[in-house]
Amino acid sequence: MGNLPFTYEQFSEWFDSHEKKFLEPARDAAVKALSEHLDVELPEIERIRVKISPGRVKGKERTWRKLELPKYDGRVSHLASIPDVIDDLVGLRITCNNKSDVQRVMDILGALDLYQEGAEPILARQDESLRDYLKKPKETGYRAMHVNLCTSVPSGLTRKVVVCELQVRTLLQDGWGELTHEDTYKPGNTPPVLVEMLSRRMADLLATVDDIAQDLRQELDRLASVNIEEPSTVEQESGEVPPAKVLDPVAGQFDLREAAMQYLNGRIQRIDRPTDLASLAWEMRKEFGQDITEGWFGFGNFKTLIKASVPSVRVTNEPPSYVLPDGYDASVSAAATQGHPGVPDAALVLRGVDRGFPLIGKDLLNAAYAQLADASQHIDWSDSTSYDIGRLNEMTRRARELNAEGNPVSRSHLDYIAKSILFSRNLNRPLRAEEVKEIYAKSTLNRIQGVVTLNPEQLEEVRGWLM
């Protein structure tokens, strides 16, 4: 305390000026850029599950108290160095419905350009700024993902870079913060023991509910995908789109089907990037009502309805399926995708289509195969009351428990690889690591070759990475 090289009065005058000139404009600029970026990166079905708060500038008194903490002794040499030491003067927050939405947002942020000294970014990511309080919650029970983003605002004839701390958390994690007033405790102060204990208990309970909410989300997604992905028996045998079942024109079913097909045709003609079938099906349900999923106007499933509505449409075959826009060039998309160590460039074509596709090295892939296989040995496959999503969640939960400290695989990557087992209809018995590898490799190779033709060298490189 009292070791700062300036008085409170000097600090107060500096802070008021700095807040007005830089912090408030940076907050507004970062929120705008972040919102616009997520609008582009997320389909509507996902975007509505992600909410951006207006942001805040840390109060003057809280900043002063933070500067007085022992951890900052000797680190602040003058007023202008405060923003270099305190990186949360501007705070941003994103609240997501589920943990998978949090991971999706973090994946998008992870693809932002890193901030380079001397640059004047609209929005960039500060290197090595990620703090994962989901994997390792704070002692209070606080859970969230933190990352620092950089934006620039006018400063005379040049621009000044301002660092903003972004928190990404679920609705329940955000609710915990509101209920416990975690943000209101002054830096360096400890809440009463009983408050700490109750806060941790509540955080643990809500973390369990978050897991249940995630399981519910996955089951709803699985149920929605059943009549979106699965082709009819006729289509499986002939490869052709079967005729729709005759509807009752008196009941207006025929007119509704025509309207739906016209709507779908127009919607697909307007897409300018790969769009997953689940998003399009969600738009159709929003437009025409939930009951259209019962038979999809006599076509049996959504994929067949799409092909009947737009005969020339390009739809990837291996689930999860995507509609590709006219003239889509996978190689151009791959070239625009940031490379990842240990991942073949040829595999990047799938990331251009499916933003959730894991770009992880061979070591992590092998760790995921082994953990999922090991987890599958501990599931009671004879239980007739169990269901696919329950088994899937049990397997990924156990796999996460097997995560090695030095070689951890994220939940989203484990879930993604495990879903290939679900789609392959092999989620019915214990599996060896080699079997998990073969299932995922076959699915991934088929999906990549569904959007681009690989030459023998590329095919071998991708196979070597997956296997």
Top-ranked range on mean pLDDT: pick from 4-18, 202-216, 345-359: 4-18
| Predicted pLDDT at 247 | 54
Q: Is residue 342 part of a domain?
A: yes
Cα dihedral across residues 104, 442, 428, 296: positive or negative: positive
Handedness of CA 204, 210, 212, 215 (dihedral sign): negative
Which amino acid appears at position 239 of this protein? G
Whether 102 and 167 map to the same domain: the answer is yes
**What average pLDDT does this structure show over 268-295?**
87
Tens digits of per-residue pLDDT, 125-149?
999 999 999 988 998 899 999 999 9
Q: Is the peptide bond before 83 cis (omega within 30 degrees of 0)?
A: no
236 pLDDT more than 50: no
AA identity, residue 431: L
* 354-388: pLDDT as tens digits: 888 888 899 999 999 999 999 999 888 887 655 67
Element (H, E) at 277: helix 277-288
Mean pLDDT of 158-175: 96
Indicate the residue among 297, 320, 343 that finishes a domain.
320
Is there a contact between 57 and 89 (Cβ–Cβ < 8 Å)?
yes
Whether residue 399 is found in the same domain as residue 444: yes
In a domain? residue 362 = yes
- For the stretch 254-280, pLDDT in tens is 678 889 899 999 999 998 888 888 889
Same domain, 139 and 25: yes
Mean pLDDT in residue range 94-103 = 92
Residue with more model confidence, 21 or 399: 21
Q: Which of 261, 290, 320 is the last residue of a domain?
A: 320
- 426, pLDDT greater than 60: yes
Q: Is the pLDDT of residue 30 over 80?
A: yes
Q: How high is the pLDDT of residue 272?
A: 86
Q: Is residue 223 part of a domain?
A: no
Cα separation, 265 vs 286, whole angstroms:
16
pLDDT exceeds cutoff 60 at 306: yes
Per-residue confidence (pLDDT) for residue 237, from 0 to 100: 45
* pLDDT of the residue at 253: 59
- Residues 64, 107 within the same domain: yes
Lowest mean pLDDT among 1-10, 126-135, 279-288, 430-439: 1-10
Residue 420 placed within a domain: yes
Residue 159's CATH number: 3.30.460.10
Asked whether 417 and 436 are in contact (CB, 8 A), the reply is: yes
Q: If DSSP states are collapsed to H, E and C, what string results for 283-298? A: HHHHHHCHHHHCCCCC
> Would you place residue 246 in the very low, low, confident or very high pLDDT band (cuts 50, 70, 90)?
low
- 392 shares a domain with 301: no
- How many domains, in total, are found in the chain? 3
Q: Are residues 110 and 64 in the same domain?
A: yes
The pLDDT, as a whole number, for residue 196 is: 84
What pLDDT is recorded for position 394? 79
- pLDDT of residue 233 exceeding 50: no
Q: What is the pTM of this model?
A: 0.73
Give the pLDDT of residue 181.
75
Burial of 184 (0-12, 13-18, 19+ CB in 10 A): exposed
**Among residues 256, 289, 320, which one ends one of the domains?**
320
Give yes or no: residues 367 and 444 share one domain.
yes
Distance, CA of 363 to CA of 365 (rounded, Å): 5
Instruction: Assess whether 348 and 417 both reside in one domain.
Output: yes
Give the per-residue pLDDT at 96.
96
Which segment of 90-94, 263-267, 316-320, 357-361 scores lowest on mean pLDDT?
Answer: 316-320
d(CA 345, CA 145): 29
Q: Does a structural domain hold residue 3?
A: no
Q: Is the pLDDT of residue 418 over 60?
A: yes
Output the average pLDDT for the chain. 85
| Listed residue (29, 327, 31, 286) closest to 152, CA to CA | 29
Q: Do 308 and 186 sit in the same domain of this protein?
A: no
**Whether residue 300 is found in the same domain as residue 441:** no
Q: In the structure, what pLDDT confidence band is assigned to residue 216 with cuts at 50, 70 and 90?
A: confident
Q: Is residue 339 part of a domain?
A: yes
Residue 427 is predicted with a pLDDT of 83
* Residue 261 placed within a domain: yes
Q: Provide the pLDDT for residue 249.
A: 59
Q: What is the DSSP string of 233-267?
A: HHHHHHSSPPPPPPP-GGGTHHHHHHHHHHHHHHH
Residues in CB range of 238: below 8 A, 6 or more apart: none
In this structure, are 335 and 358 located in the same domain?
yes
Laid out side by side, the sheet with 322-324 consists of 275-276, 322-324, 314-315
**Lowest-pLDDT range, 13-22, 40-49, 182-191, 405-414?**
182-191
Same domain, 52 and 177: yes
Domain containing 293: what range?
232-320
Question: What torsion, rounded to 10 degrees, do the Cα atoms 22, 25, 27, 33 define?
Answer: -130
pLDDT given for residue 381 in this prediction: 83
Residue 27 is predicted with a pLDDT of 97
Give the number of other Cβ atoms within 10 Å of residue 160's Cβ: 17
Amino acid at position 323, single letter: V
Residue 219 within any structural domain of the chain: no
Q: Phi/psi of residue 144, each to 5°? A: 180, 170
